[in-house]
């Protein structure tokens, strides 16, 4: 298919049947301007059916939370009543509205972007954000207040979060109206503080006499008068336990099976996007690529279907519409930044070892903790739960009394592998010759020889490792290092333990569909011998070659001239034997 640069404007318009809402989180503008909207409004009715009216729900970053909150806001806002048919008429909730449609004054709070430089700066920015939101609320519903201007003046004289909220609650109570309170990014500033490693700062603002707890206590009190419904969302439950005594009225729906697919796109919804976006490609092949790259999220082991991160999917198709083919990069840089802050989670040797285990095995058995305190977040169980909430792990299946968690998809694996590569650079001051490495991988892809790449990794990456690291070294460690460098080349998508009827291939290097003219794929059997076991080389070589032969005779691989085979044996950190 031609590059977008080669397309005429007319061709580009024909190819793009519908506008994709990549990066758009305002429901009204999305609907009015004709963007694609995946209908999630059936969940509005579901949310109303829960016994609790005060709901807490978290998902990883860029998972569609803000757009869903905007959908709630426009559905419940009494000022949007005249726009209901235009915004919701052709959607599920438009055809079957609930009795609470357009019946609230909606107060929206977004606690992202606060200044966390110090306690005083955070307090000032928290109060300013709250005041701005309440002022906008007063302007929006000015008809219900006797003297809106005087009310805003009184608001500006208050410098306590609880007092600010109490003022608008008291004034709204006089009108007989009810409030729907929506809080987005409730934990954003807390996560920033945690990333700074300042536990005392966190405790000062959230616990005991902290102003954050005061605010949520005011929210709780407000539910006795005008706050009829609450929906709170964020990325982690880190503050939920610390706020328990101040705000113990919410129901946590995060892992409720009934809302497993409320955010994110199911496979059938992705199919609709492909159709409406006019993607001209073999559907089965495209879905297979998307499934490997972006799918995999499950938030309850009994969930009906796995979901795709919607930002990743919309990024992919937005790039496709611009280029007429696969994106040059599989990973949206915005998502990469959000997920890529792995290093900040590692505060001790225990969490480092746990992360190494997850990366090497691509799975771990654990319990998911529904809420946890700052003091416990780096304990083993809590650390794994935090990775789950961040979207770096997801549920694979129930495993006896616990859950088997896995890395969701190829994109998240790449983020882990890049973390490993960055840590190697940092700890051992490795400065890779990227041009030499790229040439060696191109030799694999286009000339069918793997030896230059293996020699490069052996000399430039493994040799600088300390003897202490080698004490716990294994094939898995080397495999992750190889993956870290291979994925950066864009030539291959490494697959670990690919299943065949004749066993599991250590490493299968699959062509990256973004570069369709790659000549060779690879079956690699990987072995590692400690220096003290070098005398076992001949035995190891015989065993490895027999395994390679079995794999190469498997269905889909047998008699393929474009699939190369290699046995790679690393000995200690200074030697590599390659049999191609």
- Report the pLDDT averaged over residues 523-534: 92
Q: How far is CA 33 from CA 21, 94, 101, in A?
A: 10, 18, 23
Task: Give residue for tokens 């880190």.
Answer: 238
For residue range 416-469, list pLDDT tens digits in order.
Answer: 988 888 888 887 777 778 889 999 999 999 999 999 999 999 988 888 877 766
Report how far residue 399's alpha carbon sits from residue 387's, in angstroms, rounded to the nearest whole number.
Answer: 18
Report how far residue 169's alpha carbon sits from residue 218's, in angstroms, rounded to the nearest whole number.
Answer: 9
Which pLDDT belongs to residue 245? 64
Which pLDDT belongs to residue 133? 97
Alpha helices per DSSP H over 366-513 = 380-390, 410-428, 434-442, 451-457, 467-470, 475-487
Task: Give residue for tokens 């395994």.
Answer: 547
Helix (H, G, I), strand (E, B) or coil at 179: strand
- 430's tokens: 């490795």
Answer yes or no: is pLDDT of 55 > 50: yes
Burial class (CB in 10 A: 0-12, 13-18, 19+), 361: middle
18: confidence class by pLDDT, cuts 50, 70, 90: confident
What is the residue-averaged pLDDT of the chain?
Answer: 89
Answer yes or no: is pLDDT of 54 > 90: yes
Pairwise pLDDT comparison (99 vs 490), residue with the higher score: 99
231: confidence class by pLDDT, cuts 50, 70, 90: very high
Answer yes or no: is pLDDT of 2 > 50: no
Q: What are the strands of the beta sheet with 179-184, ordered from one edge?
A: 105-110, 179-184, 227-234, 54-58, 251-252
- 427's tokens: 């700890």
Which pLDDT belongs to residue 13? 52
Q: How many CB atoms lie within 10 A of CB 382?
A: 19
Report how far residue 188's alpha carbon sits from residue 61's, in angstroms, rounded to the nearest whole number.
Answer: 10
pTM: 0.90
Which pLDDT belongs to residue 340? 62
Pairwise pLDDT comparison (242 vs 78), residue with the higher score: 78
- 560's tokens: 């393929």
Pairwise pLDDT comparison (338 vs 532), residue with the higher score: 532
| Beta bridge pairs of residue 523 | 508, 565
Which pLDDT belongs to residue 338? 67
Half-sphere exposure of 254 (CA within 13 A, CB side): 26
Helix (H, G, I), strand (E, B) or coil at 229: strand
């Amino acid at each position: 298919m031609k590059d977008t640069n080669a397309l005429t404007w007319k061709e580009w318009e024909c190819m793009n049947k519908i506008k994709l809402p990549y990066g758009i989180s305002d429901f009204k503008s999305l609907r009015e301007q004709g963007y694609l909207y995946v209908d999630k409004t059936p969940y509005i009715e579901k949310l109303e059916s829960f016994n609790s009216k005060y709901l807490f729900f978290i998902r990883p970053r860029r998972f569609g939370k803000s757009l869903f909150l905007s959908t709630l806001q426009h559905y419940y806002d009494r000022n949007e009543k005249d726009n209901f048919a235009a915004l919701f008429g052709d959607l599920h909730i438009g055809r079957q509205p609930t009795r609470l449609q357009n019946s609230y004054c909606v107060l929206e709070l977004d606690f992202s972007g606060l200044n966390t430089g110090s306690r005083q700066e955070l307090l000032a920015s928290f109060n300013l954000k709250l005041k701005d939101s309440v002022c906008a609320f007063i302007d929006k519903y000015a008809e219900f207040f006797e003297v809106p201007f005087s009310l805003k003046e009184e608001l500006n004289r208050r410098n306590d979060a609880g007092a600010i909220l109490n003022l608008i609650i008291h004034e709204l109570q006089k009108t007989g109206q009810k409030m729907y309170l929506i809080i987005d990014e409730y934990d954003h500033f807390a996560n920033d503080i945690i990333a700074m490693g300042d536990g005392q700062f966190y405790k000062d603002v959230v616990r005991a006499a902290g102003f954050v707890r005061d605010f949520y206590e005011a929210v709780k009190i407000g539910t006795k008068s005008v706050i009829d419904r609450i929906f709170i969302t964020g990325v982690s439950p880190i503050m939920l336990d610390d706020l328990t005594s101040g705000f113990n009225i919410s129901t946590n729906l995060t892992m409720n099976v009934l809302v497993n697919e409320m955010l994110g796109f199911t496979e059938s919804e992705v199919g609709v996007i492909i159709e409406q976006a006019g993607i001209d490609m073999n559907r089965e092949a495209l879905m297979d690529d998307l499934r490997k790259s972006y799918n995999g999220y499950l938030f309850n082991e009994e969930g009906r279907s796995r979901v795709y991160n919607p930002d990743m999917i919309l990024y992919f198709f937005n790039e496709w519409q611009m280029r007429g083919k696969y994106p040059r990069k599989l990973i949206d840089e915005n998502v990469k930044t959000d997920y890529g802050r792995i290093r900040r989670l590692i505060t001790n040797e225990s969490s480092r070892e746990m992360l190494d285990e997850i990366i090497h095995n691509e799975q771990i058995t654990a319990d998911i903790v529904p809420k946890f305190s700052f003091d416990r977040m780096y304990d083993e169980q809590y650390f794994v739960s935090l990775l789950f909430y961040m979207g770096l792990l997801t549920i694979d299946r129930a495993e006896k009394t616990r859950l088997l968690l896995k890395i969701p998809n190829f994109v998240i694996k790449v983020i882990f592998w890049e973390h490993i590569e960055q840590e190697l650079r940092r700890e051992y001051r490795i400065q890779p010759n990227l041009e030499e490495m790229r040439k060696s991988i191109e030799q694999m892809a286009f000339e069918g020889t793997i030896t230059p790449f293996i020699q490069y990794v052996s000399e430039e990456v493994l040799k600088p490792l300390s003897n202490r690291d080698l004490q716990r070294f294994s094939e898995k460690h080397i495999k992750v290092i190889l993956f870290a460098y291979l994925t950066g080349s864009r030539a291959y998508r490494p697959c670990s333990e690919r299943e065949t009827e004749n066993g599991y291939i250590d490493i299968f290097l699959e062509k990256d569909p973004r570069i369709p003219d790659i000549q060779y794929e690879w079956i690699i059997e990987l072995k590692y011998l400690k220096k003290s076991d070098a005398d076992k080389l001949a035995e190891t070589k015989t065993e490895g070659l027999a395994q390679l032969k079995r794999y190469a005779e498997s269905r889909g691989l047998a008699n393929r001239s474009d699939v190369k085979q290699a046995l790679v044996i690393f000995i200690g950190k200074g030697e590599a034997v390659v049999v191609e």
